[in-house]
Amino acid sequence: MKPEYVLGNWKSNKSRDEAQRWISEFQKAYRANQVVLEVIICPAYHHLELFIAAGLPVALGVQDISQFPSGAYTGEISAEMVAGQVKYALLGHSERRKNLGETDEIVAMKVTRALDKGIIPIVCVSDIRQVEALKKLAPNFATTGLLLYEPLFAVNSGNPDTPESANEFALAAGEILQGVRVLYGGSVKPDNVSGYFQQPDLAGVGVGGASLDALTFIRLIDGASFKSQ
Ligand code: PGA
């Protein structure tokens, strides 16, 4: 059975102490009882070691990787540098596209870097045009990659897209990138998460704000009721 996903994206949040506190709270309270569910946490790079040391039953991801290989690229974190530490890389988030000028071409370069190093790319898209660009610029993406559909109006706004509309997007994306699995993200909370898991063509959710508090995030995971059960 294919897994479904709950992905927590911490974005640019948490000191080392705050990250350690979250990990301790999660460790105490979380009971992984959904064998078909993969919980993915994407903290900042410098928190990865804390997660690895704690051995939490979650998969790890980074929130970005460089489009360049290792070398003279000051400040960049390359795929080589995190390979072996993380299973996933979140790429092309709308906040990076908007604030840092990431283009479809740059996102495609990052996808290739990730795949070359055995890291599964999770590409964020907010419209179908970005899915078409991904198909054209990174044709090898669809074999292993996941899509995270995050409409701009829904991200960090408290105004989520409806599960039905998100499902329609997943269907349309799946026609372009044959069989790609699609997650929905944008203001997903413990009290609305189950609606997305009831949709036949969605493979899970991406969560920003509601992943920052360990107990809220656990409630959200528990609130996901699975169509496979
Ligand atoms: P949000 O963020 O849950 O805070 O809306 C979603 C995301 O950007 O992944």
- Provide mean pLDDT across the span 174-182: 95
CA of 156 relative to ligand 1 center, distance in Å: 5
Dist. CA 127–CA 165, nearest whole Å: 12
pLDDT value of residue 153: 98
The ligand 1 site (C-beta within 6 Å) comprises: 9, 150, 155-156, 185-188, 206-210
228: pLDDT confidence band, cut at 50, 70 and 90?
very low
Q: Quote the CA–CA distance of 20 and 37 in Å, as a whole number.
A: 24
Distance (angstroms) between ligand 1 centre and the Cα of 16 equals: 21
pLDDT tens profile 66-115: 999 999 999 999 999 999 999 999 999 999 999 999 999 999 999 999 99
pLDDT tens digits, 9-59: 999 999 999 999 999 999 999 987 766 899 999 999 999 999 999 999 999
The catalytic position among 4, 47, 93, 102 is 93
Mean pLDDT of 157-180: 97
Give yes or no for a contact between 86 and 48, defined as CB atoms under 8 angstroms apart: yes
Residue 150 annotated in active site: yes
Closest CA to ligand 1's atom 3? 208
Mutate to test the pocket of ligand 1, among 96, 155, 192, 217 (most ligand atoms within 8 A of CB): 155
pTM of the predicted protein model: 0.96
One of 150, 164, 168, 175 is an active-site residue; which one? 150
Which helix (H) or strand (E) segment holds residue 42: the answer is strand 37-42
**Contacting residues for 227 by C-beta, under 8 A, at least 6 apart:** 197, 198, 199, 200
Q: Is the pLDDT of residue 183 over 80?
A: yes
Q: Which atom of ligand 1 is nearest to the CA of 158?
A: 5
pLDDT at 229 over 60: no
For 134, the token pair is 């991904």
How confident is the model at residue 224, as a pLDDT?
Answer: 85
Q: What kind and span of H or E run contains 59?
A: strand 59-62
